[in-house]
Copies of this chain bind each other. A is one copy, B any other.
């Protein structure tokens, strides 16, 4: 009975709980209020997902009955959950994932530093750079060749996708430079720059 896999939402919750213990309501707020859109903020998705994670032992809950505040079930990650998260984060990123599930890749990246350290994050960036460099030219060539025969809006939609990937390429370079700069101004866990927006605008 090989333990059935954790959904993407499950890993998103696991990664957030890994940052600091929180309740289902807290997590919902993260998905509604912060820039982590694209995830469901509906209770019908989150509470069952939390229950599944708890059942498999990845997280543990404790009901807090703080005075003057109503009952909250606060989750924290377990050792097993940490191991599962690390294993997920360690999966090499594939071309297919970049094409069909870029959001998942970025989610992994966002959680990576906390769970595996900055070196792992840089390694992911390097792999991402290689894959993008291999993938984007083909896309551009496709646009050159097939574009003229497409309806204008179709061609533009494709161009939008290409621009997205090109922006991502520039971001990867910037991110790698940023990690390099942070590493050279050494401390145990390095300092974070205050407003590094990469010289745009």
Contacts and interface: CB of A to CB of B under 8 A. Distances in A.
Contact of A156 (B157, B178, B194): B178
B151 A113 contact: yes
B159 A110 contact: no
A112 B194 contact: no
A121 B166 contact: no
Interface stretch (A5-13, A54-62, A76-84, A168-176): A168-176
A43 interface: no
A148 interface: yes
B163 A167 contact: yes
A68 interface: no
Nearest to A161: B35
Nearest to A201: B166
B158 A168 contact: no
Interface residues of A, number: 57
A195 interface: yes
A109 B156 contact: yes
A183 to B, nearest CB: 10
Given A35-B161, A150-B192, A159-B171, 19 more contacts: A38-B99, A106-B157, A106-B160, A109-B157, A110-B157, A112-B153, A114-B151, A121-B152, A140-B197, A143-B197, A147-B194, A147-B195, A148-B194, A152-B190, A152-B192, A159-B174, A159-B197, A159-B198, A163-B168
Q: Please give me the 4 A-B residue pairs with the lowest Cβ-Cβ distance, nearest first.
A: A113-B153, A110-B157, A167-B167, A37-B99
Interface of A: 19, 34-35, 37-38, 99-101, 106-107, 109-114, 118, 121, 139-140, 142-144, 147-148, 150-161, 163-164, 166-168, 170-171, 174-175, 178-179, 182, 190, 192, 194-195, 197-198, 200-201
